[in-house]
Amino acid sequence: MPTEVTNMKCPSCTGPLRFDEKTGKLQCDYCGSSFEPALVEQLYADKEKAAAAETPEFDTASAGGQWEAGEAEKLRAYNCPSCGAQLICDDTTAATSCPYCGNPTVVPGKFSGDLRPDCIIPFGMTKDEAAAALKQFYKGKPLLPRFFAAQNHVDEIKGVYVPFWLFDADTESDIVFSGTKTRVYESGDDTVTETRHYRVARSGRASFEKVPVDGSSKMPDGHMDAVEPFDYSKLTDFSSAYLPGFLAEKYDVDAETSAQRANERIENSTLRAFERTCDGYDSLTPDVKNIRLENSSVKYALLPVWLLSTKWNGKNFLFAMNGQTGKLVGELPVSMGKFWLWFAGIALPLMAILGFIEYM
């Protein structure tokens, strides 16, 4: 009588496996699949190894530095009482409103430094160029409220150095996928769908440089992801000489916390790279992901972003523009008056045409 194996599940359907003495294989009575015992043992060993592995950790101790003597004394701090943003600038630049929420009142105070940035990418676009790019972004948007594109709103665009953590790491990875190949064919009067299941194992090494994660909780991650990439060849050692005329936000998400998002980006990139080496499968599902970091390091950087924050019907709208390339992202408000006019202009002729067709 076959011996039941109750502590292992079918890799295909997760049903219980039993050992079939006649075939010498592990059999699934639910989907009919059979597996070599060594294959299933290796699969479980890989899963246990991955489960036991610690979450990859970056060495964040070296990120940022100490402010030089007298350097911090030349900086001024502003705090927004509405959204809590902390902004810094040189002592000749005044902040009159918050670039994140548009609050017209920001409270000046004495700067107290935390970490000094390691590097900075200076602004490559002027305010006039940024304003022109924003006006170009408005074109072709028929539902945009008329006042929103007015020149006085374009003038409120502000240049802000957004805090970023840049992660470097070499990775060594072992990934195991469950792969399927499906074939449909006719057998007599029946249509047969045959699905074959495979264990697809990949191992390899990769290097990641300057994986960016913004250190600001005020800036939506989607905005920052969308304005990438930055040209890191322009990255230079930080100097407060780059600050006059611009604001810079103090980070409120530290490097250790940001490392989790860097790990996610590295993991997703690794999975996509490994999947591209697995040709011929109709589906691939990662079962085991064991990604180990080596030679990791983190730098604290300030990257240039033009920001425009405005309100429409009590809702804040934040736009972000890459200060190097002019790439702009953001959600545009909709004028409901224009929307209903546009809807009527389409719906009424369409209803007339459908009514005429039905009548005929």
DSSP assignment of 197-252: EEEEEEEEEEEEEEEEEE--SSS-HHHHHHHPPP-GGG-EE--GGG-TT-EEEPPS
| Residues 2 and 122 grouped into a single domain | no
Any domain includes 163: yes
Predicted model pTM = 0.72
Any domain includes 110: yes
| Residues 218 and 257 grouped into a single domain | yes
Per-residue pLDDT tens digits for 323-340: 988 888 877 665 544 444
| Residues 213 and 338 grouped into a single domain | yes
**So what's the pLDDT on residue 300?**
93
| Residues 101 and 225 grouped into a single domain | yes
Q: How many angstroms separate the Cα of 324 from the Cα of each of 138, 308, 320? A: 20, 16, 12
Q: Tell me which residues of the chain have a pLDDT lower than 50.
A: 1-6, 152, 336-345, 356, 359
- Cα–Cα distance measured from residue 159 to residue 99, given in angstroms and rounded to the nearest whole number: 9
Spell out the residues 6+ positions from residue 200 whose beta carbon is closer than 8 angstroms to its own. Answer: 176, 177, 178, 179, 278, 281, 284
Any domain includes 3: yes
- Phi and psi (nearest 5°) for 324? -100, -50
| Residues 152 and 217 grouped into a single domain | yes
Q: Could you tell me where the beta strands, DSSP code E, fall in the chain? A: 3-9, 16-20, 25-28, 34-35, 75-79, 86-90, 107-110, 119-120, 158-187, 190-214, 236-237, 247-249, 283-312, 315-322, 328-330
Tokens of 254: 């530290």
| Residues 45 and 95 grouped into a single domain | no
| Residues 15 and 146 grouped into a single domain | no
| Interior/surface letters 183-205, b for 16+ CB within 10 angstroms, e for the rest | eeeeeeeeeeeeeebebbbbeee
- Cα–Cα distance measured from residue 111 to residue 243, given in angstroms and rounded to the nearest whole number: 14
**So what's the pLDDT on residue 318?**
79
Spell out the residues 6+ positions from residue 131 whose beta carbon is closer than 8 angstroms to its own. Answer: 154, 155, 157
Any domain includes 57: no
| Residues 242 and 301 grouped into a single domain | yes
Among candidate residues 160, 38, 184, the one with its CA nearest the CA of residue 95: 160
Any domain includes 35: yes
| Residues 37 and 97 grouped into a single domain | no
- Cα–Cα distance measured from residue 228 to residue 230, given in angstroms and rounded to the nearest whole number: 5
Spell out the residues 6+ positions from residue 34 whose beta carbon is closer than 8 angstroms to its own. Answer: 20, 23, 25, 26, 27, 28
State the total domains in the chain: 2
User: What CATH number is given to the structural domain containing 43?
Assistant: 2.20.25
| Residues 96 and 222 grouped into a single domain | yes
- Phi and psi (nearest 5°) for 234? -90, 0
Residue 18 contacts residue 29 (beta carbons within 8 Å): yes
Any domain includes 198: no
How many Cα atoms occupy the beta-carbon half-sphere of 133 within 13 Å?
21
| Residues 48 and 76 grouped into a single domain | no
Print the domain residue range for 15. 1-52
Cis status, amide bond into 229, omega within 30 of 0: yes
- Cα–Cα distance measured from residue 28 to residue 19, given in angstroms and rounded to the nearest whole number: 9
Any domain includes 195: no
Spell out the residues 6+ positions from residue 137 whose beta carbon is closer than 8 angstroms to its own. Answer: 328
Tokens of 355: 């009514």
**So what's the pLDDT on residue 355?**
54
Among candidate residues 48, 50, 266, 39, the one with its CA nearest the CA of residue 171: 266
- Cα–Cα distance measured from residue 321 to residue 306, given in angstroms and rounded to the nearest whole number: 5
Any domain includes 162: yes
Per-residue pLDDT tens digits for 121-166: 999 888 888 878 877 776 766 656 665 656 545 557 888 999 999 9
| Residues 13 and 142 grouped into a single domain | no
